[in-house]
Structure 1
Amino acid sequence: MSFWNRWRRRYQGQEAKEGLRRAAARALARDPEGVAARRLRDQTRHILEAFGDDVAEDPEGGYLYRKGWILVREELADHAIRILGGQFDRERVAAPAVAGVRRLPLSANTEMRSALDRLLDGDGGLGEGAAGPEHILSISDVVSRCPAVEPEPVDATTPDPAPTLDLAAGQGVRVVVVDTGLDPDAPLRHRWLDRVDGEPDPAITPGGLLKYAGHGTFIAGVIRCLAPRAEVYVTSAFWQGGALAETEVVRELARVLATQSPDIICLSAGTRTYRNAGLLAFDAFNRTVLRQHKGVVLVAAAGNDASRVPFWPAASPFSVSVGALNSKWDGLAEFSNHGGWVDVSAPGENLVNAFPVGTYTYQEAPNIPPDVPKPRVESFTGMARWSGTSFSTPLVAGLIAARMSHTGENGRDAAAALVADGQRAARLGVGAVLHPR
């Protein structure tokens, strides 16, 4: 291994660990009773239970990944197999995962990091960015999870931020939300969701509202408050514990592009990654698919770690990354990620919008106090208050749709113009900001 590769590996590992340490220290200062740590434990357990033994957590990197497999760029796959030698499981099939990426099986006793270190850093290695784990993206992230808190019931009948008075905003623009699905009754219950369509949210059941129920519905409501004439469609890709492997997310995005013809894709999901190097499948998706769809913009949540460590795919150069402002809109929400890789921040704390009707049993601290046998249970009547970059993201998607309908710009150009507006309104310690006028 060259001196440069040894230094880079050590530096990147230390940088990731230091980012986790600083985030943990800030969380402890804000939360001396450890509620955030218990909430993280509860959320991680929920995802691991949904995926069973297929998924593991990398505590050093702060992400989840699919066990027993790695991803490698298609043109380097044969070389990778030769380098891995006995670490490659020849009894299982190495197959294309998505266009441009192949999934390689690892032998039973091979640890993921060991295999990747050998591939990337050894003599004749493939080099940075050529291979990586198959990360698990979630509508929460591994360090603190998104949304930042569980939803709260409210008696309000009007959303906050309120619907725009520009009733033509979003006309002729199609927004696809890749999320948990749509409450079929919400468009009948709330006028601002009229004619919103999508796949049913499987977490809305006769027996009650399951974890992450209503997440996609709430997001659709935020978009429609900013762009009341936009066509909005919600998919149910993240039905399993609010999480999905990166190759499966990419296949869903490719399906959406092929069947829904969106101008804007809204994705409130992501993850930290191995060595902060990004998502291999998403890079391939951008090269082979997204670039072929002129003008389509991907708007992605920046995550809720209160950290500068990049969150992907929001940190990718081909997406618009969205952080969250606090409830007063005068600073960052304390949970929001930040840094130069975040394009713009928008209101994301204590938003009020559409939510399913039903009973919800809380599953995270502080709603499950230590040593209390019964968790908190609440009845929702169609509205909720919720916080997270999950919800600042659709606000920006709605603003992009509104601009497109008035300027004739495509999604990418409208997004670039809005980010430029946000940069001109930048605030010290926050960066570029956008909010409803």
Structure 2
Amino acid sequence: MKFFFTGETPRLPEPNPRRDRTAGVPNLPAHILDRHRARVLRPGDAPLAPGASTPGSTIYRYNRLMMCHKLLENDAQLSELDAALAVQGMRIDREHLAGKERSARMHRAKVTLGDRVTPAQVDAWTVMQTLRGAVDGGKCSQELISRLRLEHLLVGAAWTAVGDGHGSPSGGPYGGERLAELTYPGRTPVDLVLPLPQRRPVHALPGKRRPVIAVLDTGIAPHPELPVSDRQEDRDTFVTVDNALQEAISSDCDAEGPSIDGPWDNRFSDDSLLGRVAAYYGHGTFIAGIIRQLAPDAEVRSIRIMHNDGIAHENECLAALTALAEEAERARAGDETARPVDIVSLSWGYVDEDIPAEVPAHAHSALRALIERLNGLGIAVVAAAGNFASARPFYPAAFAAGPRSSEAAPTISVGALNPNGTVAMFSNDGPWLSAFATGAAMVSTYPFLVEGSEETEQNFRQGRKRESLDPDDFESGYALWSGTSFAGPVIAAKLAAAMLSESPVDMAAQDAQSVALRVQSALKAIGG
């Protein structure tokens, strides 16, 4: 297993008006966009308010706006928005908000048509431009508009066709899909005969506490090497889930789209009549297996926020990160019942419509604010750099380039290496990267899927039969897979292992100063 840090302070690319504003955007098929109520923002087609700059391409949910939760609680300011939107015949859906508890975890509002009688297209980008035009007309305040953003689609960073499961990888470099398909195998069943490392009992660890890595992904599936329990049960299992948090996340999922219904990665097939294994089924289980191999004494806290087509909604991610920050704050305040995480591993992201030179460090991004909040609490965030062979910043990984206090934990952006240590052809790269780790042709745990292929099941009933490798038959419980999705967990696991073996601070200490020293010592020990 290879990894290294770049040795340079991550920074965003220098301003360049000739930069390609369409690079690094996932090539999602139309049915995936429709499923998640999303559109691709194309610079040449984007409506612009007077004086607005041409945006970069991104993918966003067309009938949702991200808002500061304090704005959602302020009916007077919502009315101000409605008045500005009336010129387009649109409004903020108050009925959508009325049935929900407005809390610090809620960041999304629905945009709908108003009382107009003529047909119109609801589009969050057009709404944003309309509101910016209203500022110039004196009908809306700039401070209010600054608290609004698009809700982006967050795309998983595994080398798999989103929504397809076979064929060309998702969002490969332009013109390079076929090359990538030939040089990097997709998700492939394999068998493993090597024993996994021994896991020590918790009473044998420093501070009698395990380092905890939160994995916000597709959830977890049963596997004998990855015993699971609900964290409320207070059992010492390698993976824990949080059913109470999952219920809160599920309650805010859109009724119009796919839902997050619990912590389990449970819809293994796609929606076609062919019944193929869904593109991202097993993604979270595979990541947990990487951590199990490299940091057997750690605990993985699995939080499901991603669908089996590899898509996550920004709002659900913010809800999960907010819950982690709140628990860490209770622990830092002396609450001994709180069990905070030490590291957050994120294997997904998006490209932003705002060019960094025009909106420095995305000052109004709720995702950035939450990651900075976690860093300030001493929690390291490790994020995949993306698989688009692009230097365009991929967020949240590129938040590693933002300013950080010397006492805060880092955000670490991770690109992928081939097994021989060279940079993988598909990996994003740029000055905003912190590290590289093996991410191509990785072997890890995968959900047992005897029924992954109907043909396999029939052959089993009929007795022995010759056949080629069945790409949907994962009854071995292991798979080979590639992507920066799997390079990030390598760094997260190495950091967790170093917290136990190299840090001078006991794992049990939860005061702010000890937490900061522990993560900084572990990072230095692994070369960061």
- With the length of structure 1 as denominator, give the TM-score of the two structures: 0.70
**2:500 maps to which residue?**
405
CA contact (8 A) 2:188 2:471 kept: no
**1:176 maps to which residue?**
214
Percent identical pairs in the alignment equals: 29
CA contact (8 A) 1:136 1:246 kept: yes
Unaligned runs of 5+ in 1: 1-10, 25-39, 362-374, 425-431, 433-437
**1:5-404 matched pairs, under 5 angstroms:** 15-17=19-21, 20=23, 41=27, 43-45=28-30, 47-48=32-33, 50-51=35-36, 54-60=37-43, 61-73=56-68, 81=82, 83-87=84-88, 89-90=90-91, 92-93=93-94, 95=97, 101=107, 103=109, 105=111, 107=113, 108-109=120-121, 111-120=123-132, 123=136, 126=142, 130-140=147-157, 143-144=171-172, 150-158=186-194, 172-187=210-225, 195-198=238-241, 199-204=263-268, 209-257=277-325, 258=327, 261-276=340-355, 278=362, 280-286=365-371, 290=374, 294-316=377-399, 317=402, 319-329=411-421, 331-358=422-449, 360=452, 377-380=471-474, 381-404=476-499
**Distance change in 2, residues 1:164/1:231 (3 Å):** same
CA contact (8 A) 2:267 2:308 kept: no
CA contact (8 A) 2:417 2:436 kept: yes
Distance, in Å, in 1 between the alignment partners of 2:197 and 2:415 is 21
* Cα distance per residue 1:21-43 (max 9 Å; x no partner): xx69xxxxxxxxxxxxxxx65x5
> RMSD of the alignment, in Å?
4.2
**Distance change in 2, residues 1:71/1:399 (3 Å):** same
Distance, in Å, in 2 between the alignment partners of 1:172 and 1:376 is 38
- The one-letter amino acid of 2:216's match is V
Shift of 1:266: 1.1
CA contact (8 A) 2:226 2:239 kept: no
Distance, in Å, in 2 between the alignment partners of 1:411 and 1:334 is 37
Distance, in Å, in 2 between the alignment partners of 1:152 and 1:112 is 39
Distance, in Å, in 2 between the alignment partners of 1:309 and 1:105 is 30
CA contact (8 A) 2:382 2:411 kept: yes
How many matched pairs? 372
Distance, in Å, in 1 between the alignment partners of 2:295 and 2:148 is 40
| Structure with the largest fraction of strand | 1
Shift of 1:104: 5.9
* Cα distance per residue 1:215-263 (max 9 Å; x no partner): 1111011112221101122222213522221111111222345486211
- Bigger radius of gyration among the two: 2
Residue aligned with 1:321, SS = strand
Distance, in Å, in 2 between the alignment partners of 1:309 and 1:412 is 31
Unaligned runs of 5+ in 2: 1-14, 44-55, 72-76, 114-119, 159-169, 174-179, 228-235, 242-262, 270-274, 328-337, 403-409, 454-468, 507-513
Residue aligned with 1:90, SS = strand
- With the length of structure 2 as denominator, give the TM-score of the two structures: 0.59
* Cα distance per residue 1:278-324 (max 9 Å; x no partner): 5723134347x636x72222211111111111111111236321111
Distance, in Å, in 1 between the alignment partners of 2:20 and 2:200 is 44
CA contact (8 A) 1:70 1:112 kept: yes
